[in-house]
Every structure is written in structure tokens, then in C-alpha cells.
Structure 1
């Protein structure tokens, strides 16, 4: 799914619930000891950093448009 499409889905109430449910499920999976002991591939870390940067810039741009 393209980032623009993800933002549109996330803005809806159902989309934000779905996104949050996915986040909670991923966090529950990641907290398991056998999962935490596994090394994380560098490309996954790069993708995570890119996604976090996109989310942060989206939030910043979203609030600035609300002020106008």
C-alpha cells in the first residue's frame, strides 16, 4: 500500500482502530522473550526508521494545516 493511501486509511476512525490493533498485536509479539532474543535484520531497522520519520512528518504537517 502506498504511503498516501495509508494516511487516508489512518485518518478514518475504522482505519485508526485497525492501525492501533496491528500495533498492539506487534508489540505483544515483540515482548515475548524468545522473540526479543532474536537479532533484527538491518533492513528492518531501516524500514522502521523510515516509517517513524514518515509518521512524524505527517503529524507535523497535519497539525500545521489544522491551524489555518
Structure 2
């Protein structure tokens, strides 16, 4: 799905529920012991650290929302 399409989905209540349901399913999957034991690729950890280092006003989702 293209990023701008994802942001349109976020604007609706149904889109927010769908996103939240996906997040919950991913968290439930990630909490399983067999999944937790798997190593995470260093590039994924680096990307996560970089994303978390951004201030809220600099995150891509916030920037594209401001353009519309």
C-alpha cells in the first residue's frame, strides 16, 4: 500500500480500527516464546533506533498529514 493511501485510511474510524487490530495481532505474534528467541537483523534494529530518535514533529506520518 502506498504511504499516502495509508494516511487516508488513518483518517477514518474504520481505518484506525483496522490498523489497531493489525498492531494487536503483530504484538500477540511477537510475544510468543518461539518468535522472541529468533534474532533480529542489525539493520532492522538500526532503523528502529533511528525512527525512535526522531521527534514527533519529524516523523514521516506527521509530515505528510500536515501537507494535506
Instruction: Flag whether TM exceeds 0.5 (same fold).
Output: yes
| Greater fraction helix | 1
Q: List, as ranges, runs of 4+ consecutive aligned residues in structure 1 with deviation greater than 4 Å.
A: 48-53
1:24-59 superposed Cα distances (whole Å, 9 cap, x missing partner) = 00000000111000011234443x567778xx4234
TM-score, normalised on structure 1? 0.65
By relative contact order (CA 8 Å, sep 6+), the higher-ranking structure is 2
Aligned length: 61
CA RMSD of aligned residues (A): 3.0
Runs of at least 5 residues in structure 1 that lack an aligned partner in the other structure: none
TM-score, normalised on structure 2? 0.65
